[in-house]
Structure formats: C-alpha cells, structure tokens
Amino acid sequence: MTQISLAKCKVDQLVKLCEEFGNQEGELINVLHKAQELVGYLPREVQEVIARQLNIPVSKVYGVVTFYSFFTMTPKGEHPISVCMGTACYVRGAEKVLDEFKRVLKINVGETTPDGKFSLTSLRCVGACGLAPVVLIGEKVYGRVTPGEVEKILKEFN
Amino acid sequence: MSYKMHVLVCGGTGCRASASQQIITRLEESLREKNLEDEVQVIATGCFGFCEKGPIVKIMPDNTFYVQVKPEDAEEIVNEHVIKGRKVERLLYKDPEKKEAVSDSKHMGFYKKQLRIALRNCGFINPENIEEYIARDGYSALAKCITELKPEEVIQEIKLSGLRGRGGGGFPTGLKWEFASKYQADQKYVVCNADEGDPGAFMDRSIMEGDPHSVIEAMAICGYSIGATKGLVYIRAEYPLAIQRLKIAIQQAKEYGLLGQNIFGTDFTFDIELRYGAGAFVCGEETALIHSMEGHRGEPTMKPPFPAESGYLNRPTNVNNVETLANIPAIIMKGANWFNKIGTERSKGTKVFALAGKINNVGLIEVPMGTTLREVIYEIGGGIKNDKKFKAVQTGGPSGGCLTEKHLDVPIDFDNLLASGSMMGSGGMIVMDEDDCMVSVAKFYLEFTVEESCGKCTPCRVGNKRLHEILDKITQGKGTMEDLDTLRNLSRVIKDTALCGLGQTSPNPVLSTIDNFYDEYLAHIKDKKCPAGKCKALLMYHIDPELCIGCGLCARNCPVDAIVGERKEPHFINTAKCIKCGACMEKCKFKAVSTR
C-alpha cells in the first residue's frame, strides 16, 4: 500500500472527532462514519489515528473497516457511479448496464478512473424498484437505464 | 388554519427520484400565484405503494389519484382541478383491461385486495408533522398501555394477537417480549432492527419514511412491557431520508412529552437513539446486529444466550423488526381479537410485500396472510410485463426460494411458504418471466451470499463459495451431472452446520431451483444450452436475413461496431467482435435479432 501523508489539520480534526465520541471503543462505527464524511475514505493513516485515540489495535479498526461495505479504503471519483444490483434491477437487466459502464470507463467495480473523475460500484437496492434498473451518479438517480444510454449519461459529466 | 383541499404528493425515495420534490415546489408556486395558499395545502407524504406509476399526486377530499405526474403538470392540476373542479383526465390511472380512467384509488385493481395495517398511515400523513399522526389516533395506544394496562397485560394482548416477527424468522412477538420481561437487570434495551438488507425489499424504509411515529410509539410500548427505558434504532446508513425523518420524529415526540421522562404524567421514562449500520446483510441477524451496535464486526454468536437474557452490552435486549413494530399500535387500539381474525390459522394479520421484477405494477403492497400468489401477481400486480409468460416468483430474498406455476394457488403464510421450499423472509417478491435463467438466478443469490458471508464459520465461508463456483461452471457450459449431486449434498451440509440464519438458508435458492427447474439445469449441462438465452457463454446473437430490412438501427446502437451491412440489405453480426450486450436485439423493431 502506498504511503500517503495526512495533512496535520485533518489529523487534528480526527482527534477532535474521536473526543466528541468520548474516545469510546464502542463508538468505533460512529467515528468511522464521521471520519469517512470528513476525509472521503478511510486510508491506513486515518485508521491509525483513530486506533490511537480509542486505544485499540489498528487491526481491530481495519477489521471493522473491511467488514462493512459502506466503508472504503480507496478514494471515490469526483462522480461516484453506483449501479443497483438488487434483485429487481438484476432481472430487469442491470448486469448489462454495469458491463457497459465497465467497458466505457475501462475500470472494474471498486475502481476509480485514472483521472479521478468516475468511480464505479455496485450496490444492493436503493428501493426505487419501480424504476429498475437504477443507476446513481452522485445524488442523481437515473431510472430504466439501458446499456445503449450509458455513453449518453456519461457525457453529461464531461 | 383549516384548508379546503389537500394535495398529497408522494415523498418516498422512488417518487423523489422522479422529481416529486419539484412537483411540490411547482404546485406551491402555482397556488401562491392564484392566492390559494391559505385554501389548499400541499403535503409531502410517505410512499403510496404504487411505485410503478409514480410520482403519485392525490387530491383530498375527493380522492382523485393522479399518476406519473411531471413538474410541468402542476399548473394544470391547479388551474383545472383546484380552481375549476375538473379532473385532469390524462393524468388519471387507466385500467389496463377496461381501458377506462379510474380516479379513486379504492377502485383500482392494485388497491382493491389490499388491507393496510402496517402501512395504514403511509401516503396519508405528512411524516414530518407529529400532529397529523396524533390526528389519526397516534400515541393513543401508548397512552392506553401506560395509563390503563399493566405490562403483563400488554404482553398478553400481543401474545393473543398471534403477531409473528416480520423480519424473516416469524417468531411470536408476544413470546419474545415475555422472555425479555422476565430477566432482571439495571438496564434493558428495546432495539428496532431497521437494517433492511434484502435486495429488492423496501417496506421497512417506506414505513420509516412514511410513518416514523408508529415505530417510535411501538418501541415505547415495548419498553413499558419489558421494563426497558432505552430504545435504539439500528438503521442502514444508506437510507438518508429515513434517518432524517426518524430524527425529526424523535425530536417532535420529545417536545410533546411522548418520549423522555414521566410520559403521560406517569413514572414511565423512555428515550430513543439512532445507531447506524454500515452495509452488512448479516447484521439483520440479531446477535450480529448487537455486536455491530457495540462497535465490533457484525459477526453472529451462538444462541443461547438469547438477546432477551444477554444482548446489547450484556443486558436483556428485545429486537424487533420495523414492520412488526408498526403493527403494535393498531393491535393495542383495535384489540387482539380483531387482529387474530385476519389471516390464516398460524399466521395472523397482514404482510407487506415489495412486488418487483417483471410485473406490471411494481410497488409496495399489504395483503392479509392467506392471499394466494395468483391474487398478488395477477390481480394486484396486474400480471406479467409485456405479456410474457410467468416463470417463477422468488420470495424471501437470498434466503428464500423460487416458486413456480404450481404454487400460484398456495395461500401465502409463514408455514405454507416454508413447506413449498421457500420462505416469507422480509417480504421481497420478485417476479420472473420466460426470459430469466434460473441457474443464473441461483448464481446471482449465491454471489450475494458469498459477498455478505461474515466468514466466521467454515460451512458458510467456504461452502457457499464452492456452490457459487459450481453454478458458474454450469452457466459457462462446463458443468457435469456429478456437479448436480455435489450441489445438492453440499447444500444440505451447509444448511445443517452453518452458525446463523444466513448460512442455514443460503443454499435455498440452489435447492429450490434444482427442484423446480431440473430440466433447465439439464439443458445447461447436457445440451450446453441456456433455454432462457441469458447465459452469455452459451449464446450467439444472430440476425435473420429474412426479417432484417437493413434499417441500420442495430449497427448504430452496437457499442463495439460488431454489426456490418449495406443500407436496405440484411446486416450481419461479427461474432468475434460481439460482446453479447443485447443492445441490437433490444432496438430491432422487426424482431430480426435472436439468440441461439
């Protein structure tokens, strides 16, 4: 893993964040939620700061971060793309839509384009099953997406 | 202030995705222009359930139900309906059979057979205003419990009602409360399981978005019954709107003295806090959920001890699902004997289903237990999309199974679904048509389980991975008959030996598809064919030169330029370049593209 160094101000903010939760071990998940909001993702250094503050091993923090799909150790793109792969979207062709995003962006699920513009993930059900298959880009929801529309959608962000 | 007319606009996640927020803004602007803002009130409600036709706008008191409304329709609704009293015909729901407009939702096939208990307020009230909940008898069940009934009388009532857990297990709720009430401790907890992880099920989210106070009221009633003063809602971080509405509701309940100290002037104290999940399906299992709330990895532990004895922070804890809780206030107000007359002998009341997939009316429905799959799919759901043939319905999510035509007349309840090789689960109901490959569906669910297995016990961690590999092999056309036996045997071992509910039920999609669609497995293994035309490795796209008129639409839509041909001449697919995306088949207006 590449070594990144975290800005001092971010470290201070993380320390403060942990203090707000009383540096309690039991608040680890809440701390991680806030930390991801703050930094955008949870790289090793962030985990180390949190571990030190809550007085727990880094391995424990790492164990929790990697257990839950909501937490990520890679930075998201400027426009994070999530293709819903819930069952309703799956039977209405979400897999083909996902394949098309992979093909056009030349990245796999969980990766970010080299220019940092787009990242691609699949998620399980946003609950808009009436609009299946559904794609989320940032906050924007695209419904009834077909593989043919993928390039057109991506052009909106150029 | 009293209004003459109310315009209810669905503010659920689905309709918001189709711009319902803009509809509200445009309606309000238009009403302001006409100086009607004191006469007509626009309200953002929770989910109406009819997601297929969203965004929904309903006008009260005349009960007019407008479907698929766009922001630019707002002005016409105000000008025509509100001012002139004329319905906007083109926005009314058209009955697909009779081809006529239906304006009152009561007469729509989608709503006729429904009975709404858990969803009673969704789509009727503004979830961000506690007074609207109170106006519909909200918090009177809590008042009745703590001022008139003893804790054991409340538990007795819930036991008598026959209510069973709606999260999947189907455990009798009253019994669960009784267990938790019997253990003594300095602190007990009421936990609401709002970690809805079943892909394709969204009833809990809709209840929290549309009627958050019913959950809060029920948690307080539970707290009073079991002797707990603290409630925790474990909710998915992926549900921002539900979180926001719950937070508002908790705050309002505190301001009204319905949460906090000395509720209704008694010495009963109860408070609720939120805890966030972080995306782990296994956290729906109660011991895993409790570990997650404590800040650990959400791994399940052996029961006993049950949470009723030693749960959150080792204190007695009662965990109930959102939909289960939403039933409680109604049971207290109308009585156990009202509730237990609805449903079947061993499954009382109603069940909410998220109806989705290849069906005309996608949406959230609530029906009495004992309704048949046929009624749900054909009468409420309006049948299969694009007049295709019904193939299967998947219930119970990744833990459930696929039911077929022969199960269509089975009355839906906990026991019948289990006996048919599936289960109730949390209420996802995905309809599949002739174009769906059942081997791929089984593989899809296994992929989910493999991803979500916490890895603690070997049968689930390794066994499911092996099941997935074998299924993948079959969809690649490399399966053998021996693989089928291995699938069956391994499935049984996993079911018998896995630690928690996730592993014990994860082979169900495999077993039920082998049982019900054995021929389809054979076709993949022996003939190396996918009858549904889904498995990429087994299919080739082909243009019929007889049917192709050479319009070139397919070639223009092919993302990899694999289609060649002169204008007005039959086109051809270069199979070496083709990525089998199916775009050509989708676009062709002459049905000239097929798979073989």
Closest residue, chain B, to A36 (C-alpha)? B278
Token pair for residue B556?
A: 């223009």
Taking CA atoms, B289 is separated from A14, B279, B282, in Å, by 26, 11, 8
Q: Which residues in chain A touch residue B205, judged by CB atoms under 8 angstroms apart?
A: 127
Beta strands in A60-149 (DSSP E): 79-84, 118-123, 135-137, 140-142
How far, in Å, CA of B424 to CA of B32, rounded? 48
Domain shared by B494 and B545, yes or no = no
Domain shared by B481 and B547, yes or no = no
How far, in Å, CA of B304 to CA of B288, rounded? 14
A15 touches chain B (CB under 8 A): no
CATH number at residue B309: 3.40.50.11540
B572 touches chain A (CB under 8 A): no
Closest residue, chain B, to A84 (C-alpha)? B199
Select the residue from B296, B394, B436, B475 to test the A interface by mutation, using most A Cβ atoms within 10 A: B296
Domain shared by B300 and B215, yes or no = yes
pLDDT tens column, B465-493: 999 999 999 999 999 999 999 999 999 99
Closest residue, chain B, to A25 (C-alpha)? B295
User: Residue B411: is the preceding peptide bond cis (ω within 30°)?
Assistant: no
Rg (CA), chain A: 18
* Alpha-helix residue ranges (DSSP H) falling in chain A: 8-20, 28-39, 44-54, 58-67, 87-91, 94-105, 150-155
pTM of the model: 0.91
Q: How does pLDDT run along chain A (158 residues), one tens digit per residue?
A: 455 678 888 999 999 999 999 999 999 999 999 999 999 999 999 999 999 999 999 999 999 999 998 999 988 899 999 999 988 899 999 999 999 999 999 999 989 999 999 999 988 887 788 888 999 998 888 999 998 899 999 999 98
Q: Which of left, alpha, beta for B345 (phi over 0: left; psi -120 to 50: alpha)?
A: alpha
Q: Which residues in chain A touch residue B362, judged by CB atoms under 8 angstroms apart?
A: 88, 129-130, 132
pLDDT attached to residue B258: 97
Record: contact B278-A30, CB cut-off 8 A: no
How far, in Å, CA of B104 to CA of B178, rounded? 43
Residue-wise burial string across B322-351, b where 16 or more C-beta atoms lie within 10 A, e elsewhere: bbbbbbbbbbbeeebeebbebbbeebbbbb
User: Residue A43: is the preceding peptide bond cis (ω within 30°)?
Assistant: no
Q: Where does a domain end: B339, B372, B389?
A: B339
Token pair for residue B438?
A: 């059942």
Residue B213 lies in a domain: yes
User: Which amino acid is located at B538 in the chain?
Assistant: L
Contact B446, B453 (CB under 8 A): no
pLDDT attached to residue A4: 61
How far, in Å, CA of B78 to CA of B33, rounded? 10
Residue B124 lies in a domain: no
B362 touches chain A (CB under 8 A): yes
Residue B122 lies in a domain: no
Residue B534 lies in a domain: no
Domain shared by B167 and B302, yes or no = yes
Domain shared by B185 and B278, yes or no = yes
pLDDT attached to residue A1: 47
Record: contact B200-A86, CB cut-off 8 A: yes
pLDDT attached to residue B255: 97
Interface predicted TM-score (ipTM) of this complex, two decimals? 0.90
pLDDT attached to residue A141: 86
Domain shared by B322 and B195, yes or no = yes
Token pair for residue B271?
A: 């408070």
Record: contact A129-B197, CB cut-off 8 A: no
Record: contact B13-A123, CB cut-off 8 A: no
pLDDT attached to residue B429: 94
State the first-to-last Cα distance of chain A, in angstroms, to the nearest integer. 31
pLDDT tens column, B138-189: 999 999 999 999 999 999 999 999 999 998 889 999 999 999 999 999 999 9
Q: Which residues in chain A touch residue B18, judged by CB atoms under 8 angstroms apart?
A: 131, 143
How far A12 CA sits from the closest chain B CA (Å)?
23
Reference B83, options B43, B27, B126; nearest CA is B27
pLDDT attached to residue A3: 58
CA B141 to chain centre: 26
Select the residue from A30, A31, A33, A67 to test the B interface by mutation, using most B Cβ atoms within 10 A: A67
Reference B463, options B425, B423, B492, B501; nearest CA is B492
How far, in Å, CA of B94 to CA of B111, rounded? 14
Select the residue from A28, A29, A144 to test the B interface by mutation, using most B Cβ atoms within 10 A: A29
Contact A128, A141 (CB under 8 A): yes
Residue B118 lies in a domain: no
Residue corresponding to tokens 């949470």: B307
How far B480 CA sits from the closest chain A CA (Å)?
26
CA B114 to chain centre: 16
How far B192 CA sits from the closest chain A CA (Å)?
18
Taking CA atoms, A157 is separated from A1, A140, A151, in Å, by 30, 12, 10
How far, in Å, CA of B184 to CA of B3, rounded? 51
Ranges in chain B, pLDDT < 70: 1
Domain shared by B311 and B175, yes or no = yes
* Phi/psi of residue A49, nearest 5 degrees: -60, -45
Domain shared by B464 and B397, yes or no = no
B401 touches chain A (CB under 8 A): no
CATH number at residue B511: 1.20.1440.230
Q: Which residues in chain B touch residue A91, judged by CB atoms under 8 angstroms apart?
A: 357-358, 430, 432, 436, 441
pLDDT attached to residue B518: 97
How far, in Å, CA of B360 to CA of B377, rounded? 9
pLDDT attached to residue B67: 95
pLDDT tens column, B49-70: 999 998 999 999 889 999 999 9
CATH number at residue B354: 3.10.20.600
Residue B532 lies in a domain: no
Residue B530 lies in a domain: no
* Phi/psi of residue B230, nearest 5 degrees: -130, 130
Report the domain count for chain B: 5
pLDDT attached to residue B10: 94
Token pair for residue A110?
A: 């969980």
Beta strands in B195-229 (DSSP E): none
pLDDT attached to residue B559: 85
Record: contact A71-B295, CB cut-off 8 A: no
Q: Where does a domain end: B479, B495, B525?
A: B525
User: Which amino acid is located at B306 in the chain?
Assistant: F
Q: Which residues in chain A touch residue B292, judged by CB atoms under 8 angstroms apart?
A: 29
Record: contact B276-A130, CB cut-off 8 A: no
Q: Which residues in chain B touch residue A134, judged by CB atoms under 8 angstroms apart?
A: 17
Domain shared by B429 and B448, yes or no = no
Domain span holding position B291? 130-339
Domain shared by B425 and B444, yes or no = no
Domain shared by B266 and B365, yes or no = no
Residues of B (240-279) whose Cβ lies below 8 Å from A: 275-279
Domain shared by B192 and B318, yes or no = yes
B581 touches chain A (CB under 8 A): yes
Record: contact B579-A124, CB cut-off 8 A: no
Residue B535 lies in a domain: no
